Structures are given as C-alpha cells and as structure tokens.
Structure 1
Amino acid sequence: MSIEAKLKELGVTLPDAPAPVANYVPYVVAGDMVYISGQVSADENGVIAGKLGIDMDVEAGQAAARRSAIALLAQLKAACGGDLDRLVRVVKLGAFVNSAPDFTGQPFVVNGASDFMVEVLGDAGRHARAAVGSVSLPLGAAVEIDGVFQIK
C-alpha cells in the first residue's frame, strides 16, 4: 500500500508544508538523506501551545506530537517532489517538549509522533530518537520535532 493510501485510510490529510518562521530552510536534501527542520505542534487553527505538566497532560502532548509528525511528513513530501513513496526509512527524530521543571514524561509525549510514524510507515517508520524537556519552545508550542529521513 502506498504511503498516501495509508494516510487516507487513517483519515489523515497532509497540509501544505509549513513555511519557515525565521531565517532557515525547511529541509535539506543531501544525497539519499533528508534533514527536516523542527516542526512545531500546529493544526488548522495555528500553533498548539502549552506546557506539559502545567496546562497540558500527556494525552494532549501526544496529540501535539502527532501533529508535528504530520508536518514532518508534509515537509518530506515537498522534499521528495510530491512522492512520499521515495521514503526508505525514518532514521531519527529529535523531539523537544515544553515542560514544567518537574515533568518527566517527555518519552511518553513523543510517543505520539513515534507511534504515528510506525502506524503509517510500518517498519520503515521505526527510528532512533531523542525526547528532551525544554523550558520554552518557539511560539509557545507544546512540542517541536525535527527529523532525518532516508530516501531513494
């Protein structure tokens, strides 16, 4: 099954690849690798803001992380000229979670992105990962995730 067909089966429509909010490019293709800049948690209403352990719980954080993963796939689609089936595998995700000082559930929050990648991509979605707590994130976002992908 194509990646687009799997997304459709799951009821996921990829948005247009988000434009950068500062002086950087959204992705860099180097050989068979795509490096995608951090994607903040956002939906059709704008940035999903919040601080885990204060005004967001793990479940809400997982939903925000999933939205960051959707944005990563939107950027990947742009990097691949519209053909997501060029993806070989997700290599690594680097995740930052806007966290209260005593919040330690970052890995569980980031599972929202990791689980989504595996749900859509199967074994090609399994990846190395970092899940880091942060005192704040751009635009007050709850989550920001960057990614490294191998393509053909």
Structure 2
Amino acid sequence: MGKIDTRLAELGITLPVAAAPAANYVPFVLNGNQLILSGQLPFQDGKLIHLGHLGDKLTVEEGYQAARLCGINLIAQIKAAVGDLDRVRRILRLGGFVASTATFADQPKVINGASDLMVEVFGDAGRHARSAVGVPALPLGVAVEIDALVDVSV
C-alpha cells in the first residue's frame, strides 16, 4: 500500500469504483504528465445525493459534503487513470460548479469541501488553483460538479 492509500485509510475513506461516463466523453485524458479529469458528481454508494440548489433547500454544509464526495470521486478517477496515487505530484486546479439561486454567494465555501479533501489527502501537493462558479442547473439535478487538472509522474 502506497503513502496516499495509507493516508486515505487513516481518514476512513474507501474509494469507489471510478464512475463510467454518462455521455459521449471520456472520464480522463492523460497527456504527458498532465491528467485532465472530467467533472465528477456527488455519487455515494452508486446513488446521487445532494440534489437541488444551494440557497433554496440545501445548506452550505450539505453543499460542502457534496463537494467532498465529488473530490473522492475525482481521486477514484485519478487512481483509475494512473494506478498508483503516489504518482500525483500536484493537484493543479479544481473547477467547481454549484447549482445555486441567484442570491446565493457562498460558492467558495461549498467548493472548500473538495479543496480541503485534496489537502487532507495529498498534503502540500493538494494545494491548487480553483474556481467556484454558481450556475442555474447541473446534470441530473445535482448541487455540485467538480473537474480537475493534475500533475502526475510519468
């Protein structure tokens, strides 16, 4: 078991099987040392959770947990792409999308769910650039979707 797998176990995180694409795209593209990950949704045990809009019926804490699940699913995709999570040199960027009402302005607090997870798992290599954007709707009615760009050793 590698260093990152050990860290996941210490955190009580079991990675799910990486989700298959839901349309005409691939879940990741490995181009040299850059791994580009398609947006991940808040799946848990094969079910989508945290459906709806922030600022309506969902709280910031529920959005945070949805973003954390997206982050766990991103890590599962990284493992599917490169096999060994110890090959991650740096999480370069997260792109966070939050389904929210027109007056909701706490998108950064929501996307912190994934950002905090990346630092918990990868340490300083988990610190990244990011965006946190409010949108009127996301696929399948989810509250959060997150994509990523990762630097990996080849």
Aligned counterpart, 2:53: 51
Q: Secondary structure at the match of 1:132?
A: strand
CA RMSD of aligned residues (A): 0.9
What is the deviation of 1:45?
5.0
Alignment partner of 1:74 is 2:76: yes
Q: Give the distance between the partners of 2:100 and 2:132, measured in 1 at CA.
A: 11
Question: Matched residues in 1 for 2:32 and 2:75: separation?
Answer: 18
Q: Secondary structure at the match of 1:144?
A: strand
Deviation of residue 4 (structure 1)? 0.4
The code of the aligned residue for 1:19 comes to A
Partner of 1:138: 139
Residues in 1 aligned to 2:46 and 2:84: alpha-carbon distance in whole angstroms = 27
Cα shift at 1:15: 0.3
Match of 1:95 in 2: 96
Q: What is residue 118 of structure 2 aligned with on the other side?
A: 117
Matched, 1:24 2:40: no
Q: Percent identical across equivalent pairs? A: 54
What are the Cα deviations for residues 75-104 of structure 1, in whole angstroms up to 9, with x where unaligned? 000110x21111000000001001011100
- Which residue number corresponds to residue 38 of structure 1? 39
Give the counterpart of 2:67 among 57, 65, 68: 65
Q: CA deviation at 1:47?
A: 1.1
The whole-number CA distance in structure 1 between the counterparts of 2:56 and 2:45 is 24
What residue identity is the alignment partner of 1:76?
I
Q: Which residue number corresponds to residue 14 of structure 2?
A: 13
TM-score by length of 1: 0.97
SS of residue matched to 1:29: strand
Q: State the TM-score, normalized to the length of structure 2.
A: 0.96
For residues 108 and 75 of structure 1, the distance between their equivalents in structure 2, rounded to whole angstroms, comes to 24
**Structure 1 residue runs of 4+, over 3 Å off?**
none
2:145 is aligned with what amino acid? E
Secondary structure of the corresponding residue to residue 94 of structure 1: strand
How many matched pairs? 151
